[in-house]
């Protein structure tokens, strides 16, 4: 299911909307890194540095699961039940959440280079899910090949 077919009047506007949303989410990664760096400088003592050895591996595992969802599972789950824009927004929100993990651990007292792992991970995942005709075509093909799913 597509938001609009190529050549239809709403197709260009729909494409612009997707790119604007994608760019806003991509820029947010840098905002999180900046805010985290500023907060780290102003905090004299990290609030919970003791929990970092426990929380970082958990967040890495969650991020790996989200990455698998974004790259391999979501298309199959959403192809029959939603349109391409919805599919994109869900993928981008999951990718952005990885950057939020980086912000959280930075605030908790992690080193900047540890947080940069999460920011970079999020940015790469967003690059892999950029809106485009090939991606939209893959989504449409998937929607046509899969049997209906009852959710």
The dihedrals phi and psi of 129, each to the nearest 5 degrees, come to -115, 25
Nearest Cα residue to 102 out of 121, 81, 88 = 121
Confidence at 148, pLDDT banded by 50, 70, 90: low
Confidence at 3, pLDDT banded by 50, 70, 90: very low
pLDDT number for residue 123? 97
Three state DSSP letters for the chain: CCCCCCCCHHHHHHHHHHHHHHHHHHHHHHHHHHHHHHHHHHCCCCCCHHHHHHHHHHHHHHHHHHHHHHHHHHHHHHCCCCCHHHHHHHHHHHHHHHHHHHHHHHHCCCCHHHHHHHHHHHHHHHHHCCCCHHHHHHHHHHHHHCCCCCC
Assess whether pLDDT exceeds 60 at residue 19.
yes
Q: Mind listing the pLDDT tens digit for each residue in 132-147?
A: 888 889 898 888 876 6
Distances (CA, A) of 74 to 37, 60, 127, 134: 33, 20, 17, 17
Confidence at 41, pLDDT banded by 50, 70, 90: confident
- Cα 42–chain centre separation: 28
pLDDT number for residue 28? 96
Assess whether pLDDT exceeds 60 at residue 1.
no
């Amino acid at each position: 299911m597509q938001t609009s077919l190529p050549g239809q009047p709403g197709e260009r506007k729909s494409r612009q909307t997707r790119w604007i949303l994608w760019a806003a989410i991509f820029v947010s990664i840098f905002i999180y890194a900046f805010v985290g760096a500023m907060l780290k400088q102003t905090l004299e003592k990290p609030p919970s540095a003791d929990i970092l050895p426990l929380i970082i591996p958990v967040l890495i595992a969650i991020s790996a699961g989200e990455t698998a969802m974004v790259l391999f599972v979501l298309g199959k789950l959403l192809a029959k039940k939603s349109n391409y824009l919805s599919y994109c927004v869900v993928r981008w929100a999951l990718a952005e959440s990885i950057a939020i993990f980086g912000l959280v651990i930075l605030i908790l007292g992690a080193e900047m280079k540890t947080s940069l792992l999460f920011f970079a991970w999020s940015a790469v995942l967003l690059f892999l899910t950029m809106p485009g005709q090939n991606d939209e075509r893959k989504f449409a093909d998937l929607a046509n090949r899969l049997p209906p799913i009852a959710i």
